[in-house]
Structure 1
């Protein structure tokens, strides 16, 4: 298998769907003398391989990667193949979810930075990677990966509880996630309100929560998909 070409020493590639932010970072890096280019994420979320190939074709030394890439979806799935190619991946994100940060780090990102940080922090990370220096200490790295691990086990527990629901209870939870009240659910399902209330009570008991709002929040947290209603 042919080896990937060596990355250009000073090339920084930006993968960011927020155009204004991307332009600001581009200008700042260019002013520092870096060779900067950008690759837009496709609208098709099922084509990560195509995007990775487009990025690697530019032979970047550093990739500045957003986690939320519009219709393409979660950018974290790009981290492992990019890092595996030898590029230094720095995630620059508006997300404050430290479990997602940990997922990026365990996948091979060298650093995660918040978009609320000054541009000088991004420049410093790029400068250190190109100089062959570390950009994150071991303690911070382990803390973020541990956060991801905790979240993964919590999500697994939530999923197991959701799987306890009957088909009908899943339908009711789906209605609740769409903001429908008990009366409306009863009308749509052609059953009594008392029946729906009993079903809601069973849902809360199985999910070990005390309110409909908490049940809906739990389902959203793990990306649970509602039945077709």
Structure 2
């Protein structure tokens, strides 16, 4: 992804905080207003909430929570896929996150976030980081930013390779692999598909050969590595490019 030049980023005194934790968001907005900075807070528990929050506000500095809670199926709602579009709308995005996962933070930075601040930082530190971001400066050292982005890109490169190999499986082979990953034994898989056990074993051998692994455990680990989870960054699993 190409990054917009610094000159294309907005310089404005307006701060919009979008977070699924109302206490965090409202407290931060209050602290910023106490410092003389015009700041507003909008709670968001979904992608739609974020889009609604920014729809009626002139673009400025957006303090965006990396995690927006869980959806109805219990899956984490990740804000990383929203960052490119927000940048295109003119927002400068400061990612606020309780997660210290370097790969996830690197994903946000790579996809257009201006800077990142941990939610574990003190309130004065958060206010200082936001004040600097308003002026087009980041308190995140360039070397640390580069390291975080590099960690994400390495993860991305590995995951692309895994997905390419998984894409070589037939539909039935992938179904067999998914059942193995769910802990289902070969005999139960045979009964599920109403086929013989030797047929399932042949399919498993085909899976191992196509994935270039030596055991079912390795194959299962491979498929689990690309399943969205708490340590999965925005990117491949979420369609950000």
Counterpart CA distance in 2 for 1:145 and 1:28 is 30
SS of equivalent to 1:169:
helix
Counterpart CA distance in 2 for 1:218 and 1:179 is 14
Structure 2 stretches of 5 or more lacking a match? 1-9, 229-236
Partner residue, 1:108: 112
Check if 1:98 corresponds to 2:102. yes
Check if 1:18 corresponds to 2:17. no
Instruction: Indicate if the aligned counterparts of 1:13 and 1:63 stay in contact, CA closer than 8 A.
Output: yes
Partner residue, 1:3: none
Structure 1 residues 134-161: Cα deviation after superposition (integer angstroms, max 9, x where no partner) = 3333222222222222222211110111
Check if 1:169 corresponds to 2:173. yes
Counterpart CA distance in 2 for 1:214 and 1:68 is 30
Matches within 5 A, 1:114-133: 114-133=118-137
Partner residue, 2:158: 154
TM-score, with length taken from structure 2: 0.72
Poorly superposed stretches of 4+, deviation over 6 Å: none
Q: Aligned in 2, Cα 1:108/1:221: closer, same or farther, shift over 3 Å?
A: same
Instruction: Indicate if the aligned counterparts of 1:89 and 1:110 stay in contact, CA closer than 8 A.
Output: yes
Q: Which moved more, 1:211-220 or 1:163-172?
A: 211-220
Structure 1 residues 147-199: Cα deviation after superposition (integer angstroms, max 9, x where no partner) = 22222221111011102222221110122233323232122112233433443
Task: Report the number of matched residues.
Answer: 215
Q: Which moved more, 1:215-224 or 1:105-114?
A: 215-224
Q: CA deviation at 1:210?
A: 4.8
Counterpart CA distance in 1 for 2:193 and 2:142 is 55
Matches within 5 A, 1:1-229: 9=13, 11-41=14-44, 43=46, 51-52=50-51, 54-55=53-54, 57-59=56-58, 61-69=60-68, 70-71=70-71, 73-223=77-227
TM-score, with length taken from structure 1: 0.75
Structure 1 stretches of 5 or more lacking a match? 1-5
Counterpart CA distance in 2 for 1:214 and 1:16 is 38
Q: What is the root-mean-square deviation of aligned Cα atoms in Å?
A: 3.1
Instruction: Indicate if the aligned counterparts of 2:190 and 2:200 stay in contact, CA closer than 8 A.
Output: yes
Counterpart CA distance in 2 for 1:116 and 1:219 is 33
Counterpart CA distance in 2 for 1:193 and 1:122 is 59
Counterpart CA distance in 1 for 2:104 and 2:157 is 14
